[in-house]
Structure 1
Amino acid sequence: MRLAHATHVLVTDGQKRLLFRNSGDAIYPHLEPVNLLEDVNPPDRDQKSDRPGRTSFSLSGATRRSAYAETDFHAQEKKTFAAETAAFLRDQALQQAFDALIVVADPRTLGELRGQLDPAVKDRIVGEIAKDLVKHPTTAIEQAIIAE
């Protein structure tokens, strides 16, 4: 994939957001950080206070038990972070901060983002890569984009 000059690149995984701008050209890209944000989202087990609830009820003398579905707070926070990222991109697009955007995200986060992106952002997307590259160095991200 060609990474033209001044193209912005969003790299996210549902917990960390990196926004870069290509200050190089299509042959020799150079990504410079524009905005970095990391969400504090501990594992689900650390966010819970107790076991899921249970219910007992009796029909015609027979006692039955039922358990409530367990909430995954970690997954909920990832969805919230994706929504916040979509709102951030909408604000940036409305301020004319970028003309072209490449989105690099793990498949689950990419799916969440697609459903929440504003048309102003969707019109500026020139490419998507379904890979988790958040923890990779900038040079590896550049090479992954060129290789696509």
Structure 2
Amino acid sequence: MKPVRTLVVLIDDEKMKLLENHGVGKGLQPLEEAEFSRKEAEALEYSDQPGRSFESVGAMRHAMSPEKSVEEQQRDRWLREAMAHLSKRWQKGNFDRLVIAAPPKVLGLVRELLDRPLKEALYAEVAKDLVNVPERELPERFADVAAF
């Protein structure tokens, strides 16, 4: 019987690790890491002033409160780039299922950014930040959702 190949994604606000599993008892092998670059983000231009809008009647103008802070905008951009990279990696690999671990807030954003093939392959989600957990400890952290 062919072993089930699982792509495991550990992601947070600044880092993403991709690992793979080739069946029960085989553990997790690292594939690659990607890290958010603050220098690149600082080079992007974000407005430091709130936008302005006109009154619906008359010529008065009002400042608008920003919907997202600069940090949130940078995080959202990082996650969009990370999910685009993940999608390409998924297409290249012969994986059968996907497991994602991320802090709860990031997991919600990642869920929204997954494309259709990744959503269909999603086997389990773990709402914990496991990016900095040593690789030898990871299989026990996933014991509730998958056997590695």
TMscore range, shorter length: 0.7 to 0.9
Look up the equivalent residue of 2:83 and give its one-letter code: A
Match of 2:95 in 1: 98
Match 1:116 to one of 113, 118, 121: 113
Aligned position for 1:62: none
Is it true that 1:12 corresponds to 2:4 in the alignment?
no
| 1-structure distance, mates of 2:21, 2:91 | 20
Q: What's the TM-score once normalised by structure 1's chain length?
A: 0.72
Matched with 1:63 is: none
Tell me the CA shift for residue 5 of structure 1: 4.5
Supply the distance in 1 between the matched residues of 2:78 and 2:38 (Cα, whole angstroms).
Answer: 10
Match of 1:31 in 2: 28
Matched letter for residue 106 of structure 1: P
Question: Larger C-alpha radius of gyration, 1 or 2?
Answer: 1
Check whether the contact 2:101–2:126 (CA below 8 A) recurs between aligned residues.
Answer: yes
| In structure 2, C-alpha distance between the alignment counterparts of 1:120 and 1:5, rounded to whole Å | 17
Contact 2:7 2:99 in 1 (8 A): yes
**5+ unaligned residues in a row in structure 2: which ranges?**
53-61
Between the two proteins, the alignment pairs up a number of residues equal to 132
How far residue 96 of structure 1 moved from its aligned partner, in angstroms, is: 4.2
Give secondary structure in 2 for the equivalent of 1:82: helix
- The answer to whether the 8 A contact 1:29-1:142 is kept is no
TM-score of the aligned structures, taking structure 2 as reference length: 0.72
Map 1:1-148 to 2 at 5 A. Answer: 5-23=4-22, 25-26=23-24, 28-41=25-38, 69=65, 72-148=69-145
CA distance in 1, matches of 2:94, 2:81: 17
Q: SS of the residue aligned with 1:132?
A: coil
Deviation at 1:68, TM superposition (A): 5.8
The change in CA–CA distance for 1:93 and 1:31 in structure 2 (over 3 A counts) is same
> Pairwise CA RMSD of aligned residues?
3.0
The amino acid across from 1:117 in the alignment is L
Per residue, is there more strand in 1 or in 2? 1
> What's the offset of the Cα at 1:132?
0.6
